[in-house]
Structure 1
């Protein structure tokens, strides 16, 4: 019966509107639920009853449409609105909101994956990022906590943020300086020269030499009297102390013997071994302030041809020549002075020494050398200025005297040298023959090895050459040199520690005639040997003085701006970037990547199956998850300290609620009307 059919259609309408009211009610109930996505109901018509199928046009008549009566309405589907919800700030670092497409990936208790837009996370007692309402674990890729590298493409795992459980230290690789070096200062030409009393090999014996045993050493008295027995025995210690540039150097201990013990800074049995120890203890950087001159072979029958380079000696058997002429060179401008030492370094004359007696513009005159000395070969070199070192009986000191020649510059001046035996006897008083002079400055810095140990470095910078030439560009300018010293540097031979060595490096810095930095030699590194310290060895870093200038000033001042090493620090905090990268913040100021949060997106997110606790599950129609870093592959970014609010639109929901109510009322009216009509029919019978 037609009226019954109308009532059935109305009943389907009532059911559909009830379903819609349910969805609207759920939306409104979750209007403040984090990450909630509003749903809607889509309706469709159900079966139509066909009363006439219609016909096609025939002859002069048009076609007839089918005659159908609908049998009501059905619920086609519910779909979710995955438009972006508003991001509300919370200030909690573990709260995460997704800005764009994508879902957080979590694992449930069985290890199965679920997906969520709700980023209200926290750190569990196991230091894992979780949803605290259900314990589901946020997935990502953790860094190797020794190298702090994240291997892309690795298997997903729970994001680990081990606050308070990870330590880090960073070795220094570069130290950057600011400041100004006084380019108008006096050129540093003179280094300290001090010498001891004469030391003897036994009482009344010959002058001591490098091979003299320390246990046999006597010294001549300062006044008349017998030679003084220093009473040094095997196993005794010798304490060395001194000042450098007015600052006290840390005392150093030398043990007489072949076996050092803990606390010793060096050991040995001979005077030569002790002089090398003394040189290292005073931080004397050898060979760094010599003026090197190349020599070329002269014609045997016409020696000293005008204009040749550096002819300094005669041919074999001939008279000794006593001068050097080098056309185009200004020895006076280079700081060569009467009294400076000339020392042959290479070739047949290696080791020969003389002293300059006169200096011309391009000629040096010096004391005669041995008449048997052959001529130098091409490329042979000699040095002018006394090389910094500690020697025994070194020219021009008398045999048996310890001669200490220090580095140039007032900051390198060595004074108050004291060498005392275990019995309290002074090996010798020292007499100053020359003090260090020239523009210089000193700055201190602390650097760190691979396990965070701190090492103090003293950097002394001196004006080495005025009006020099930059080796890299050929431009004129002033050349400064730095000497690096540190008490933690070891003297090593293979895997054997021979003692400590204050000398850790040297290098040159050149400034142009405009006072601007030109260059710094590439191998100007500072090196610490750290055997058996538990740290990577050697520790090597580069002092970068490229931001220092060379203008005229009252004094030179250079200071450390920054260095990239750090002491040990503990993971104290973290931050999460828009790319999902979790950065650990350590107590020493270091930051390192510790994890990468991964997100997933779906080709059809409306096809996801909703679960409780704001979670979703893949379905046959959602497609497989596309997993990647936030900001890649069409995935949105992550906002730390914010949560995504529900995207329920109150105005839309209330409007839909009114429409659903009116539709429900209309369907009840259909039922009421059909019922009245049926009653009227029944009354006809009655």
Structure 2
């Protein structure tokens, strides 16, 4: 048995040496494998052959030891050494190294959990973090709001370029200094447009025909009839032509004749005729010989009649009409014609100015207007007014006459007789709140223009000298002047009233109509002063080209009350930037402190007609030391209209850093706000605790996931399954999960890897020892073989 057992014993030693060589070879082979843990082989003796169990000491004998012969060696354990490997920096942000105990948790091919120390990670086509061998790294994921969801392990994603994030503003911090020694706002800015008129009213169409009228000829043949009816004396005659409307032209010069005693009548023949067929009659005026300068109507003959016999005594004509000898001066005259309602006094817009027509007090002393425009007969107007300038002021037009319809007019009124009469209103009928906007007319010189039509009107005013955002109004046939006033109020953010305001109650803020003008009263303070420049209105008619609306405004009262303005941007829930402006003005001051009115406006407040851009107002109170005391109504709400963002956007204005010190100038600015616009994921970092934080293009950061790790009571009890992976073994204990750096877990170093802990020198020594052991075992077998050969040789 001895030699046979020696063979098997030597064989076990050689087998053990082979195992040592295998393990050492594996260690050396994985010397460059990241996260690899080298193994060591531990041996134990195999079964023993007991020849004697020995004896205990007695009184006569000292005792003997057992006699046992070993039967070889066996591999008792092949154990990985989980000592810390060297940490080496890498350029990959997904490379992770564990410093301390624990393993990364990954997903196996069957959905099972595996564990590894190799932190060389990358992303796949689904933006998931995976190992080099394609195993998904597990941890806590995030929900739509980027909040960690610690409800179970799942693959972690880093959606670079795909994930987007925005945050609505919740707080805005303002800082600055508001001077309590500045002027209290008590006078508002007032601006107004030019005079506008109602273009829906009837307008005289066309212009009359104007003609200078010459005197009739005074060449008349005289004769007499014998008798004693007329007393002796000198009789002077003057004739005038009369048109179909009863208007007299200028009188001829004097034609006279001497009459002796005893005449019965004076016969006029060869009476000159008018070439104008509209003059249908000739009136003959005669003097009273006793009063040579007084001419009274002696008789009337039809046009075309060239003779007339005058036998009327002076007493008889004394009650007849006097000759109108008024004449126009030596001047050029122009005219306007309007329609008028004789009952209400309502008057139309005038015709275009017509003329000038030259008058000559000697030869052509009167002017005849014919073909005068007539009212339509609707009943709105029933008479006609005629206006004329005067010689010493050609731009002043005074009422000359008011005539009925269907007649002509001959002007003979001297300038002195009309200078006290009403002047013409070139603007026309005044506008009112309820009239259609498309009927609004403005005058430029002699031209009358409709300002609006059906289409889209855009408007951009200014406030405190700062341009306001453009807003639009769709004009239809039903849009009124009041609609325009409301639209402009909303666009410029006029605050109609304010709680606890100390502004004068007599002031009516916003738009109204004054003297047929659009007039706007600003809120108190220079920073709230309204303005409308020449290009503020742009109109695009339906299917037409955009043009500037000529509706200029001028300042008729300047505001007082210094203040400050802060312009800043906030963000809604979709990350849309929203412009906000906060203006201030000193509202009141007393021995206890100062109170400043603030008004907030936003052009994006719903961005639709019917909503004012004013979004908040309140009072900032400071004490006698200039310290902030309180701010009222400091929460702002901005409607988002048709936007899918959460509406309204609400945020807090924090005025705690605003002081009431007597600085040289008022100042106000937004120090910070906590919202940000939409941004895409551009990069990420992984912290020592395994928290994955994404950095977005808008500068914000959000959690993308949480790496989880596991540790075991006995790492050596883990079962290696290849690909640097371990699985739970029967002697490893259950995995204990936790975040890196906590609960006994090692910390994570980003951008680094843990190298293999293989000690090549030690493994080479062990390789030499194992090969020596192997050769020794071979020599034992050789020796036994020689002994067996000697034993077999005894047969010979």
Same fold? TM cut 0.5: yes
Question: What is the aligned partner in structure 1 of residue 618 from structure 2?
Answer: 507
Match 1:244 to one of 463, 472, 483 = 463
Q: Give the match for residue 171 of structure 1.
A: 168
Deviation, structure 1 residue 74? 0.9
Indicate the SS of the match to 2:136.
strand
SS class of match (1:487) = coil
* Structure 1 partner of 2:597: 481
SS of corresponding position for 2:698: coil
Matches within 5 A, 1:206-221: 212-214=434-436
Residue 284 in 1 paired to residue 494 in 2? Answer: yes
- How many Å apart are 1:152 and its aligned residue? 0.8
Alignment of 1:183-582 (within 5 A): 183-194=180-191, 212-214=434-436, 235=454, 242-256=461-475, 268-269=479-480, 271=482, 273-288=483-498, 291=501, 341=504, 343=505, 386=507, 389-390=509-510, 392=512, 404-416=520-532, 432-433=556-557, 435-467=558-590, 476-490=592-606, 498-521=609-632, 523-582=633-692
Q: Distance in 2 between matches of 1:51 and 1:425?
A: 125
Aligned counterparts of 2:126 and 2:470: Cα–Cα separation in 1: 50
CA contact (8 A) 2:574 2:678 kept: yes
Classify the secondary structure of the residue corresponding to 2:617: strand
* 1:150 is the counterpart of 2:161: no
Aligned 8 A contact 2:34 2:755 in 1 = yes
Deviation at 1:603, TM superposition (A): 2.4
Tell me by how many angstroms 1:231 deviates.
5.9
1:409 Cα deviation after fit: 2.4
Which residue of structure 1 aligns with residue 294 of structure 2?
none
CA contact (8 A) 1:392 1:400 kept: no
Residue in structure 1 matched with residue 273 of structure 2 by the alignment: none
Q: Which residue of 2 aligns with 1:369?
A: none
Q: State the shift of 1:648 in Å.
A: 1.6
Three-state SS of the structure 2 residue aligned to 1:571 is strand
- The 8 Å contact of residues 490 and 610 in structure 2, kept in 1 or not, is answered as no
- Residues 461, 12 of structure 1: alpha-carbon distance in 2 compared, 3 angstrom cutoff: same
Q: Secondary structure at the match of 2:50?
A: strand
The counterpart of 1:160, out of the listed 157, 161, 181, is 157
Quickly say closer, same or farther: Cα 1:89–1:545, change in 2 above 3 A: farther
Structure-to-structure mapping, 1:25-36, within 5 angstroms: 25-36=25-36
Question: CA 1:611–1:290 in 2, change beyond 3 Å: closer, same or farther?
Answer: closer
Partners of 1:671 and 1:425 lie apart in 2 by: 117
1:563-613 CA-to-partner distances (Å, cap 9, x unmatched) read 222222222222222222222222222221222222222222211221222
Deviations 1:355-413 (A, max 9, x none): xxxxxxxxxxxxxxxxxxxxxxxxxxxxxxx46x22547xxxx7977653322222222
- Secondary structure, aligned partner of 1:490: coil
How far apart are 1:33 and its partner, in Å?
A: 0.9
SS at 1:504 equivalent: strand
| CA deviation after TM superposition for structure 1 residue 252, in Å | 4.4
CA shift digits 1:8-42 (9 cap, x unpaired): 43432232223112212221221221000010111
Structure 1: distance between partners of 2:62 and 2:474 = 126
Separation in structure 1 between the aligned mates of residue 579 and residue 164 of structure 2, nearest angstrom: 22
Structure 2 Cα separation of the partners of residues 420 and 572 of structure 1 = 43
Alignment TM-score, normalising by the size of structure 2? 0.62
Segments of structure 2 that go 5 or more residues without pairing to the other structure are 202-344, 348-428, 542-547
Structure 1 residue runs of 5 or longer lacking an equivalent are: 260-267, 293-339, 344-352, 354-385, 469-475, 492-496
Match of 1:138 in 2: 137
Answer yes or no: is the 8 Å Cα contact 1:214–1:232 preserved in 2. no
- Cα pair 1:217 1:229 within 8 Å, conserved: no
Assess if the C-alpha contact under 8 Å between 1:196 and 1:431 holds in 2.
no
What SS does the corresponding residue of 1:28 show, helix, strand or coil? helix
Instruction: For residue 284 of structure 1, report the CA deviation from its aligned partner.
Output: 1.6
Shift of 1:547: 3.4
1:81 is displaced (CA, Å) by 0.9
CA RMSD of aligned residues (A): 4.0
Which digits, 9 at most, give the CA deviation of each residue in 1:232-253, with x for residues without a partner? 8884766655432223334544
| Structure 1 position 551, deviation (Å) | 3.3
Structure label with greater radius of gyration: 2
Distance in structure 1 (CA, Å) of the matches to 2:586 and 2:769: 91
8 Å Cα contact 2:569-2:578 kept in structure 1: yes
Matches within 5 A, 1:52-71: 52-56=52-56, 64-71=64-71
Give 1:21's aligned residue.
21
Taking the aligned partners of 1:220 and 1:46, their CA distance within structure 2 comes to 119
Task: For residue 646 of structure 1, report the CA deviation from its aligned partner.
Answer: 0.8
Change (3 A) 1:650 1:449: same
Change (3 A) 1:655 1:236: closer
Q: Secondary structure at the match of 2:641?
A: coil
- C-alpha spacing 1:57/1:518, structure 2 compared with 1 (3 Å): farther
* Residues 1:480 and 1:662: Cα distance change in structure 2 (over 3 Å): farther
Instruction: Report the number of matched residues.
Output: 563
* Cα pair 2:432 2:516 within 8 Å, conserved: no
Between the aligned partners of 2:732 and 2:24, the Cα distance in structure 1 is 24
Residue in structure 1 matched with residue 359 of structure 2 by the alignment: none
Name the SS of the counterpart of 2:763 in structure 1.
Answer: helix
- Structure 1, 593-602 or 627-636: larger mean CA deviation: 627-636
Contact 2:438 2:454 in 1 (8 A): no
CA separation of 1:511 and 1:45: change in aligned 2, threshold 3 A? farther
2:710–2:737: 8 Å Cα contact kept in structure 1?
Answer: yes
Partner residue of 2:261? none
TM-score, normalization by structure 1:
0.71
Whether the 8 Å CA contact 2:196–2:443 is kept in 1: the answer is: no
Secondary structure of the residue aligned to 1:50 is strand
Query: 1:17 touches 1:660 (CA, 8 Å); kept in 2?
Result: yes
Q: Which residue of 1 aligns with 2:329?
A: none
- CA shift at 1:503, angstroms? 0.9
